[in-house]
């Protein structure tokens, strides 16, 4: 078997485009899923039973379904249920946001719960409203505590974006697999894909390690 590595160079522009979409999916998902997670956590912890239940159901649904199923569901079912056509990229984005928001919701909930009640009382005693206590005292501290977990979620998300390739979103995995099926250069393309994911993922993982060590003991 002869290997032809030039195929990778030949398709560099397509691959680069795939990489950019992978990064875009990761970044946009996190930009949506961090406030999403905070909202879910606050709903869950709110005194309203309805909000709390909605949040609980949302989180437990999307946290316990395989992401690939959510992706398919968003692609086939959502347009029928909602009666609108959505492009593949946005569909993939929605699926990722649902999944990661659910995870972040749990992360933030744990983070908020880890802040001592005394901190809340100290804010209330100054005359702050519950919302001001949340904004000024609880959320900044909780964010610091959950940063390592969010960082780990980020790295998982970066790799999980490959799952939206199943609905033909032109991110790195989809592009690479397309090239493979057009050129039959299976070995080369799968290796190239692995190398690219690894080269992009490794620095992120290292960054996560650094964040873990830096923020681990926050008090």
Partner 1 sequence: MTMIAPKESGSTPSPVLIYEKVRKLYGEFVALDEVSLRVDAGEVVCLIGPSGSGKSTLLRCTNALEPISGGTIYFDGRALPSVDRDIRKVRQRMGMVFQNFELFPHKSALDNVAIGPMTVLGMPKTQARERARALLAKVNLADKVDSFPSNLSGGQQQRVAIARALAMEPEVMLFDEPTSALDPETIGEVLNVMKALAEEGMTMIVVTHEMAFARRVADRVAVFEHGTILEHGSPEQIFENPETARTRDFLSHLGWDG
Q: By the criterion CB under 8 A, which residues form the site for partner 1? A: 116, 118-119, 121-122, 124-130, 132, 136-137, 140-141, 144, 218-219
How far apart (Å, rounded) are the C-alpha atoms in residues 22 and 101?
Answer: 18
CB of 42 to partner 1, least distance (A): 17
CB of 217 to partner 1, least distance (A): 9
How far apart (Å, rounded) are the C-alpha atoms in residues 195 and 176?
Answer: 12
* 104 or 141: CB nearest partner 1: 141
The tokens for 30 are 């996190």
How far apart (Å, rounded) are the C-alpha atoms in residues 166 and 143?
Answer: 33
How far apart (Å, rounded) are the C-alpha atoms in residues 218 and 206?
Answer: 20
CA 115 vs CA 36, 71, 83: distances in Å: 20, 35, 43
CB of 116 to partner 1, least distance (A): 8
* 9 or 131: CB nearest partner 1: 131
* 116 or 214: CB nearest partner 1: 116
* 42 or 172: CB nearest partner 1: 42
Residue 84 gets which letter from DSSP? -
CB of 219 to partner 1, least distance (A): 5
CB of 130 to partner 1, least distance (A): 8
Q: Which residue is it, tokens 């697999």?
A: 177
* 134 or 175: CB nearest partner 1: 134
How far apart (Å, rounded) are the C-alpha atoms in residues 171 and 19?
Answer: 6
């Amino acid at each position: 078997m002869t290997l032809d590595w030039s195929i990778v160079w030949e398709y560099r522009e397509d691959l680069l485009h795939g990489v950019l979409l992978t990064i875009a999916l990761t970044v946009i998902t996190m930009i949506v899923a961090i406030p999403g997670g905070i909202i879910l956590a606050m709903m869950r912890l709110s005194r309203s039973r309805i909000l709390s239940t909605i949040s609980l159901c949302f989180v437990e649904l999307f946290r316990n379904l395989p992401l690939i199923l959510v992706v398919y569901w968003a692609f086939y079912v959502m347009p029928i249920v909602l009666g609108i056509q959505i492009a593949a990229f946005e569909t993939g984005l929605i699926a990722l946001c649902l999944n990661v928001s659910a995870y972040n919701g749990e992360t933030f909930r744990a983070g908020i719960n880890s802040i001592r009640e005394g901190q809340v009382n100290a804010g209330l005693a100054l005359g702050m409203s519950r919302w001001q206590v949340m904004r000024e005292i609880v959320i900044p501290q909780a964010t610091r505590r959950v940063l390592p977990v969010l960082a780990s979620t980020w790295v998982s998300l970066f790799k999980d974006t490959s799952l939206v390739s199943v609905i033909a979103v032109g991110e790195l995995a989809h592009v690479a697999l397309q090239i493979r099926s057009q050129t039959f250069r299976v070995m080369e393309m799968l290796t190239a894909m692995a190398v690219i994911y690894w080269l992009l993922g490794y620095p992120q993982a290292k960054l996560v390690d650094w964040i873990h060590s830096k923020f681990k003991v926050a008090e």
